[in-house]
Amino acid sequence: MDLWLSILAGTLVAGGSYLMMSGAMLRFLLGLVLISNAVNLVIFVTGRMTYAGAPFIDKAVGVLSADAANPVPQALILTAIVIGFGLFAFTLALALRAYSEMGTDDTDEMREAEPKTEEKPL
Amino acid sequence: MTLLLAPVVLPLATAAICVLLRKNRGFQRPINLLSCLALAYVGLLLLTLVEEQGVQSVQLSGWSAPFGISLVADRLAATMIMLTGIVASLVVVFGFSDLSFGEEKNGHPVFVQALLTGVCGAFLAGDIFNLYVWFEVMLIASFGLLVVGGLKPQIDGAVKYVGLNLIATTAMLAGIGLLFGATGTLNMADLHGKLLGNMSEPGVLAAASLLLFAFAAKSAMFPLYFWLPAAYHTPSHTTSILFAALLTKVGVYTLIRVFTLVFDVQHPLLQTLLVGSGVATLTLGIFGAMTETIARRVLAYLVMVSIGIMTLGIAVGTPAAIAGTTLYLMQTLIVTAALFMAVGCVAHLAKTENLPEMGGLWRSHPLMGALFVIIMLGVAGIPPTSGFWPKILLIEALADAQRWGLVLAVVIGSLATLYAVMRLFSAAFWQDVNTDETPNLDLFRFAPVLILTVLVVGFGLFAQGLVDTAKASSVNLMNPSVYVEQVLGGSK
C-alpha cells in the first residue's frame, strides 16, 4: 500500500510540475493543486496505512502499537487541505482578475510590474 | 502565560475589530495604532521577563509537549516581537496619509493586523507544523495587502508573488511530513533531541533540504528570489515598508531558529548550499541595485544584499557568526523600514519613482535630505549608525573562522550598498529639477521617518544593549538545552 501511494505521489508531482511549467496561469494553479495533493499523500503515508487497530496508547507500553495508524498526520492533512483550499480559491480569483486586467493567461506576457522596455540606467 | 499569547491574540482581535469598523476611519485608525503600540509594549514585557526568568513557554490547552502545541519565547523571539511592534506602529502612522481612502476601506488595516498575527506567531512557534500554519496566515494576509489597491501592476506582481510563495509552502509541508515520518514528532525541542547525530539519514536530510528550500524562498535567497523585485515596488509604500521590514526577515529568523535548534547547519551539504546561495544572492542584489532605475526596485535588490549577508552568517554557524547575524537581523528591521519609508517620502515629494525624473529635493526639502543621508549611512553600515556594529561582529566572526572569501563578500556588499543608496540620493536630491513645484511633507509621513532615523542613530551610539541581547541570544541558540528543557520540562 505504502509503495503504491508513493508511486502515486511521485506521478502527481511529475504531472503537476509539467503543468506548472507551461506558463499559463490556470495550468500553473492546477499543477499546484496536484502537487499539494501529492504532499498530502506523503504526510498520510508517514502515519502508517492500516485500519487494524484503534490508535490508543497502552499506558503500560507507552507507545502506539504497530498495527494502529497514527492519527496525527491525518489531523495535519485536514489542516493542510483546508488551508490549501482557501489559498486555491484566492489564487483562482486572482487569476481571473489578472486575465481580465491584462488580457492574457500567459505569465510571460504579464509585464505590467516589470515592463520590457527599460530606460537607460543613470 | 497570557503574556505569551498576547502577541498573537492582540493583532488577531484587532483585525476582527477593524473588519467591523472598516467604514469608520475615525475609529479604525486609533485602534489600529494602539494595538501596534501595545504589541511593542508586550514585546518589551516579554523581553524583560525572559531576561529575568529565562526562556518562557506555554502548552496550549494543557496538552503537554511534545503532543500539544507549544509557544516559546526566548530572547531573540521577544526582541523581534518588540521591534515588529515598533516598526508596525510607525508604518501605521505613515499609512494615515500614504494610503488611499479606498485601500483603507477595503481592509488594509485588517490585513496589516493579520500579517502581524502571522509574523508574531512564527516568532513564537515551538512546533514546526504550527510554524507552517503561521506562515500561511502571514502569506494570505500579504496577498491581501498586495492586491488591495487593485491596480494592474499590483495584480501582476501578486501573480508572481503568489505563485512562487505557494510552491515554497508546499515544499515546507512536504518537508514537515518527511520529518514527522522520520522522527514521529513535530515539537521543535523534541526534534532537537531525536535528530542529534542523525543528520545524515536520507529522510532527515531530504526534509532539511525541503525546509531550506521553503525558507530560502520566503527570505528571497538565490535562486528563489524572483518574486521580490517583481512584487515589492507595486503596492502602496505603506505595504512595501511592512513587507521589506518584516516578511523576508521572518524567513531569516526561521532559518536561524530551525537550523540551530532542529537541524545541524554544520552539515557539509547544507553549509555548501547556504554559502553558495548567500554569495549569489549578495552578488545579484548588488548588480540589480546598481542598474535599476525605479527607486523601490533598487531597494528590493538592497534587501537581497542584506539577506545574502545574513545567509553567510548562518552558513558559517559559529557562535560569533550567529551573534552577528542575530544583531544584523534586529537592526536591519529598523534600517530597512527607515529606508523604504524615506523613499516613500521622496517618491511623494518628487511625484515619481523613476530615478531619471526625480531631482531638486535638496533645495526644497533639506531636512528630509539630511535624514536620508543618515539612513543611507545606516544601510551601508557606517558609524555612528546602527548598521555598523553587526557588520563588525559578522566580519570579525568570519575572519575568526578563516573564511576570508566571505569577509570579502560582506565588505564588497557593504560598499556596493553604499554606492546604490548614493545613486538614489543624488538622483532624488541633487539632480536638476524638471518640475518647480513640490508638495509639502505632512506630519504623518515625516514623523515616522524622523523617529526611525533617531532609532538608527540611537542604536548605533548606544549599541551595547542590542549587542548584549544578540550575544546572549546566540549563546541560547547555540546551546538549545535550556530551550529544550523549558519546553519539555514537566512532560517526562
B434 touches chain A (CB under 8 A): no
CB B401 within 8 A of CB B318: yes
CB-nearest partner of A42 from B143, B152, B178: B178
| Average pLDDT of chain B, as a whole number | 88
Tens digits of residue pLDDT in A65-83 = 777 778 888 889 999 999 9
Among A51-65, B127-141, B182-196, whose mean pLDDT is lowest?
A51-65
A97 touches chain B (CB under 8 A): yes
Are the Cβ atoms of B186 and A72 closer than 8 angstroms? yes
Which residue did the predictor score with more confidence, B352 or B325? B325
Query: What confidence category does residue B360 fall into, taking pLDDT thresholds of 50, 70 and 90?
Result: confident
Residue located via cell numbers 511593542: B40
Residues of A in contact with B290 (CB under 8 A): 121
Is the residue at B192 inside a domain? no
B136 touches chain A (CB under 8 A): yes
Is the residue at B212 inside a domain? no
Tens digits of residue pLDDT in B384-427 = 888 888 898 999 999 988 889 899 999 999 999 999 988 888 88
Listed residue (B338, B348, B353) closest to B441, CA to CA: B348
Considering Cα of B212, then B214, then B220, then B224, what sign does the dihedral take? positive
Q: What is the reported pLDDT for B363? A: 79
CB B79 within 8 A of CB B473: yes
Which region holds residue B318: left if phi is over 0, alpha if psi is between -120 and 50, else beta?
Answer: beta
Q: Which three cell numbers stand for residue B443?
A: 506630519
A–B interface: beta-carbon pairs under 8 A = 111
This complex has an ipTM of 0.90
- Does the pLDDT at position B222 exceed 50? yes
> How far apart (Å, rounded) are the C-alpha atoms in residues B131 and B175?
12
From chain A residues 59-78, the ones with a CB under 8 A of any chain B CB are 70, 72-73, 76
Is the residue at B372 inside a domain? yes
How many independent structural domains does chain B possess? 1
Tens digits of residue pLDDT in B49-99 = 998 888 888 888 878 777 888 899 989 999 999 999 999 999 999 999 888
What percent of chain B has pLDDT above 90?
47
φ and ψ of B56, to 5 deg: -110, 140
Q: Tell me the C-alpha to C-alpha distance, in Å, between residue B143 and each of A114, B74, B161, B214.
A: 18, 29, 8, 17
Test mutation, B156, B186, B187, chain A, max A CBs within 10 A = B156
Tell me if residue B58 falls in helix, strand or coil: strand
Q: What is the reported pLDDT for A56? A: 78
Q: What is the reported pLDDT for B492? A: 39
Tens digits of residue pLDDT in B363-386 = 788 888 889 999 988 888 888 888
Query: What confidence category does residue A49 fall into, taking pLDDT thresholds of 50, 70 and 90?
Result: confident
- Does the pLDDT at position B491 exceed 50? no
Is the residue at B302 inside a domain? yes
CB-nearest partner of B147 from A79, A94, A113: A94
Residues of A in contact with B181 (CB under 8 A): 42, 45-46
Q: Which three cell numbers stand for residue B273?
A: 548550499
Which region holds residue A69: left if phi is over 0, alpha if psi is between -120 and 50, else beta?
Answer: beta
Residue located via cell numbers 504526510: A43
Alpha helices, DSSP H only, in B184-267? 188-195, 202-218, 227-231, 237-242, 248-261
Q: Given the DSSP bridges, would you call strands B70-73 and B56-59 parallel, antiparallel or unpaired?
A: antiparallel
Determine the topology of domain A2-52+65-101 in CATH: Helix Hairpins (1.10.287)
Q: What is the reported pLDDT for A27? A: 92
Domain containing residue B433:
266-477
Are the Cβ atoms of A39 and B173 closer than 8 angstroms? yes
Mean pLDDT of A47-56: 75
CB-nearest partner of B159 from A39, A110, A121: A110
Are the Cβ atoms of A113 and B156 closer than 8 angstroms? yes
Residues of A in contact with B135 (CB under 8 A): none
CB B292 within 8 A of CB B301: yes
Are the Cβ atoms of B153 and A113 closer than 8 angstroms? yes
- Does the pLDDT at position A19 exceed 70? yes
Please enumerate in sequence order all residues whose Cβ is within 8 A of that of B76, keeping only pairs 6 or more positions apart, or say none.
Answer: B253, B256, B257, B326, B473, B476, B477
- Does the pLDDT at position B350 exceed 80? yes
Are the Cβ atoms of B170 and A32 closer than 8 angstroms? yes
From chain A residues 2-61, the ones with a CB under 8 A of any chain B CB are 20, 25, 28, 32, 35-36, 39, 42-43, 45-47
φ and ψ of B186, to 5 deg: -120, -15
